[in-house]
Structure 1
Amino acid sequence: MNKTVLVVDDQIGIRLLLEEVIQQEGYQVELALNGKEALDKVTESKPDLMMLDYKLPIIDGSKLVKQLEEQGIMIPTIIMSGLPEKAKEDVENLQSVKETIGKPFQLNDIRELVNRMLSE
């Protein structure tokens, strides 16, 4: 079974770049541009990993993870943020958040992180 990564970011360039990089690693990619769209996609088909922007329109990243956890939905999540320290502090009590990475990020770091998270 192919593993699926849900990429949630309001910037189209980042969504498309991550989609390409993750697909090159052999995974399926779903895209969402805000927290509401991500919530709908998660309830439709539960992804194996979520790459989630911290600041999003409608429902932001930390609220989305909190909402999912309250519903008993635990998806390993990588939070992406231009302010990684603030984001890390904000999500430290959320069990689903496994990593917080700063933007801009290195593509090789993304490859390694996604492969490591999906092989655990």
Structure 2
Amino acid sequence: MEKTVLVVDDQIGIRLLLEEVIQQEGYKVEVAVNGKEALDKVQNNQPDMMMLDYKLPIIDGPNLVKQLEEQNRMIPTIIMSGLPDKAEVEMKKFASVKKIIGKPFQLNDIRILVHDLLG
């Protein structure tokens, strides 16, 4: 069965770039522009992995992960942030957060992370 990655970022360029790279690796990609949309998508169809921007409108990254974990939805998550040190401190308390990467990131790093979590 094809594995699905949910990409959540409010910047269209990042969403499109990640969607293309992850699809090239053979995975299905869903996208969301904010945490609320991501939460709705997860309720309907839980992805195998999530690439989540730390700072989002409506529901931000930390609150989205918190809500999902409270519902026992443990989705392996990579947090993307322009402030990775700040994100690291806040996100290390969540079991589903597997990695925090800084923006801008290297596409090859994304390929490796996705394969490590889904492969």
Query: TM-score category by the smaller chain?
Result: over 0.9
After superposition, the C-alpha distances for 1:34-83 in whole angstroms (9 at most, x for unaligned) are: 00000000010000000000000000001000000001111000000000
TM-score between the two structures when normalised by the length of structure 1: 0.98
Q: Give the AA of the match of 2:100.
A: T
After superposing on structure 2, the runs of 4+ consecutive aligned residues of structure 1 that deviate more than 3 Å are none
TM-score between the two structures when normalised by the length of structure 2: 0.99
Question: For residue 90 of structure 2, what is the aligned residue in structure 1?
Answer: 90
After superposition, the C-alpha distances for 1:11-48 in whole angstroms (9 at most, x for unaligned) are: 00000000000000000000000000000000100000
Q: Which runs of no fewer than 5 residues in structure 1 stay unpaired?
A: none
Distance between the aligned counterparts of 2:18 and 2:75, measured in 1?
18
Distance between the aligned counterparts of 2:89 and 2:15, measured in 1?
24
Q: Which runs of no fewer than 5 residues in structure 2 stay unpaired?
A: none
Q: 1:104: how far off?
A: 0.0
Q: Give the AA of the match of 1:57.
A: P
Question: For residue 117 of structure 1, what is the aligned residue in structure 2?
Answer: 117
